Structure 1
Amino acid sequence: MATIHGLALDSAPAAGFSDPDSLHRGLARWNHTRLSPTTPRVDWRLQLRRDEKMLLREGEFIEAFRARIADQVAQVPLDPEGFIAWFEELKASGPGQWDPLFDWLATEADLDQMRWFLTQEAAGEAGFDDLVAMTQVKLPARPKLELARNYWDEMGRGNMGGMHGPMLDMTVAGLELTPTIESTLWQSLALANTMTAFATTRRYAFHSVGALGVVELTAPTRVASVAAGLKRLGLAPKLRKYFDLHAVLDVEHSKAWNAEALVPLAETMPEVLPAIAEGALMRLLCGQRCFEAYRAVLWAEAEVRQPAPLLRQAG
């Protein structure tokens, strides 16, 4: 059982690893290095040997995580209509949905608390655009086209000012946030590591389809709460733009993803549905553990800030 500030937390995304903090910081550093463009190095053989070691750790983590949810996945319907209904129900009853953290961010969090939350989120951001781009490789035509349309939106439809990633970067810069691996909770790193493993490893390609699809399905209510909190705190519209946009756009993205990626796969490749279901559930479980960890820190600090009650003097 992991702890944060002395508070016990379920370590489900660690999936049996005795030191999840070390595991996910190591994977996060490796992912940052291996995905960064570079030039040829004379020690490339050494790098390959390091990559092999880290790929084994990544694979062991993902496989242990899969084993933890096997019973849940075994209950998922595999007919197209039943599967889509199950998937869409995750918005209402999936792990982490309607977490009280987000109402609190919308209505109560102060600027320092909001900045801490956004720093954690930014440090754990794996880059939705890149994840989509890597996932679409060699997919069947209809799902591939839908991921292409989604990616084009992420790229601002060719307009740099409309690119989603730089919008988030603008918020980070405007709030003077300094996200780093060292200062990020391992639960946030675990989420990014899981999404990266799915998108970069072809045996998990359909897990990635499920994980990315469930992000589009469930994100709008959460980002709308963040946007409301930023507005309440008086932040300029340009610093809220990323959240305001996704609160609306992801609703349409989810409808299109389900209709043009999930339905065709369910109809023509039903054997991949368990992998899609696993990816969706694993992504939601990672998010749930993040929200619990964030609350453990933020609400503990909020209690410390409360003034002590005045004692009524006798007589």
Structure 2
Amino acid sequence: MTTEQQLSDILDSNTLAGQMALNSFYLRELAPPSAPETVPLLADYIRIQTLESEWSNYEAARIELDSVPANAEQFEEWYVALRNVHRKEVSPFFDFLAEEASLPQLSLFVSLEAQVDGRFDDIIALSQLGMDGDMKLALAENYWDEMGLGELDEMHTRTFMRASPFFRAQLGDLDLDAEMPVAALKNGNLLLMYALRRQHVGRLLGALTLLEQTVPYRFTRMLKGMERHGVPKEFRYYHELHVPVDANHGKQLVARVLMPLARRHPQIIRDLCEGCLIRYQIEKEYYAGARDVMDRRLH
């Protein structure tokens, strides 16, 4: 048995341990300038790349892409249809958050988002690599929004983390680490893997666009639940901010990134589709896992 096989046997990408190992590794790859000693070494990459390959192949094998759109026009029709199906299939979960969920149940979902360090601003930064022209501008505008338009306290990561303690306090003695659905970690790790591995750039852009286009609906329903429970405005600010901002991001990514790519480089359409579908299937499992914890542990 090779060293890679032995290391692969230690971890499984479909377990919390496997996904936690991936998240830890990605954060080491994104180490700050003050901590160069934490950057992974070659031996670390051998284990992680084997794990990544198994995970990537597993997720790709589960999607249904019987007919790849042949051109940009067909891709646009395919994408709009997927986006509409997405809204319909996730709506029961977000209707529950809006209309029925207790404050602890709603807080669980917000806290799961905070628990998984997805380094979204770094993902947007990495997504611009290799681009030029208007495509790069579209993503640069997205990134500048993430940076709070230059205002330190308005950086999106900061606005999110300011609200996090409030929602975490609603969970009482619930051990969030122990109850973490595997798909919650996958949901954050997928974009990190796609952003850090350049062979997945097409999948990254598909997944990223679907994410941005679905945030306004999801956050609008979460905000209704927050308002129903009287969550103070300062703790709703992050979600309120993202409804109009991400509506614009989604439109811009479709019009200025995905469609130009599909028109000029139709060979990348498959990767764009795969990114959308893999993100979507993990997202659905994430919501199902979160609902299971809500039903079992919180009322």
Q: Which has the higher helix share?
A: 2
Is the structural similarity TM-score above 0.5? yes
Q: Is the 8 A contact 2:14 2:182 kept in 1?
A: no
Residue of structure 2 aligned with 1:138, choices 124, 130, 133: 130
Other-structure match for 1:172: 164
* Counterpart residue number, 1:160: 152
TM-score, length-normalised on structure 1?
0.82
Over 3 Å counting, the alpha-carbon distance change for 1:236 and 1:19 in structure 2 is closer
- Per-residue Cα deviation, 1:56-107 (whole angstroms, up to 9, x for no partner): 21122112211222xx224231311110121122221038843412111112
Output the CA distance in 2 between the equivalents of 1:210 and 1:225.
24
Q: C-alpha separation between the residues in 2 aligned to 1:140 and 1:59? A: 29
Is the aligned partner of 1:206 residue 2:206? no
Please tell me whether residue 62 in structure 1 is matched to residue 53 in structure 2.
no
Asked if structure 2 preserves the Cα contact closer than 8 Å seen for 1:88 and 1:217, the reply is: no
Cα gap change, 1:182 to 1:130, in 2 (>3 Å): farther
Please give the root-mean-square deviation of Cα atoms over the aligned residues, in Å: 2.4
Q: What is the CA distance between 1:245 and its match in structure 2?
A: 1.7
Following the alignment from structure 1 to structure 2, what is the Cα–Cα distance between the partners of residues 246 and 78? 34
Q: Which residue among 230, 247, 250 is the counterpart of 1:251?
A: 247
Q: Distance in 1 between matches of 2:114 and 2:35?
A: 27
How far 1:21 sits from its partner (Å)? Answer: 2.8
- Corresponding residue for residue 273 of structure 1: 269
AA of the residue aligned to 1:52: I
Once residues 181 and 78 of structure 1 are traced to their aligned partners in structure 2, the CA distance between those partners, rounded to angstroms, is 44
Q: Aligned with 1:222: secondary structure?
A: helix
CA contact (8 A) 1:106 1:227 kept: yes
Deviations 1:135-165 (A, max 9, x none): 1111243322211111111111111233211
State how far apart, in whole Å, the 2-side matches of 1:145 and 1:123 are: 31
TM-score, normalised via structure 2 length: 0.86
Distance 2:77 2:14 in 1: 37
Q: Map of 1:4-83 to 2, 5 A cutoff?
A: 20-37=15-32, 38-41=34-37, 47-69=41-63, 72-83=64-75
Residues 191-241 of structure 1, C-alpha deviation per residue, up to 9 Å, x if partnerless? 111111001110001111111100111121111111111111111111101
Equivalent of 2:259 in 258, 263, 269: 263
- CA deviation map 1:10-56 (0-9, x unaligned): xxxxxxx5852332122122223332324343x97x83311221122
Specify whether residues 99 and 247 from structure 1 end up closer, same or farther in structure 2 by C-alpha distance, changes over 3 A only.
same
Please say which structure displays the higher CA radius of gyration: 1
1:129 aligns with 2:109: no
Distance 1:181 1:264 in 2: 42
AA aligned to 2:123 is L
Give the stretch that moved more between structures: 275-284 or 85-94.
Answer: 85-94
Query: Structure 1 residues 156, 63: closer, same or farther in 2, change over 3 A?
Result: same
Q: State the distance in 2 between where 1:235 and 1:278 align.
A: 38
Q: Which amino acid letter does the alignment assign opposite residue 89 of structure 1?
A: A
Query: Does the residue aligned with 2:41 lie in a helix, a strand or coil?
Result: helix
Amino acid at match of 1:73: L
SS at match of 2:69: coil
* In structure 1, C-alpha distance between the alignment counterparts of 2:103 and 2:140, rounded to whole Å: 37
- Aligned 8 A contact 2:108 2:167 in 1: no
Equivalent in 80, 84, 88 of residue 88 of structure 1: 80
**Structure 2 partner of 1:223:** 219
Which of 141, 147, 155 is matched with 2:139 structurally?
A: 147
Q: Is the 8 A contact 1:207 1:277 kept in 2?
A: yes
Supply the AA of the counterpart residue of 1:34.
E
Equivalences, count: 283
Instruction: Give the secondary structure class of the aligned counterpart of 1:73.
Output: coil
The alpha carbon displacement at 1:169 in A equals 0.7
Percent same amino acid among aligned pairs? 29
3-state secondary structure, aligned to 1:98: helix
**1:269 positional shift:** 0.8
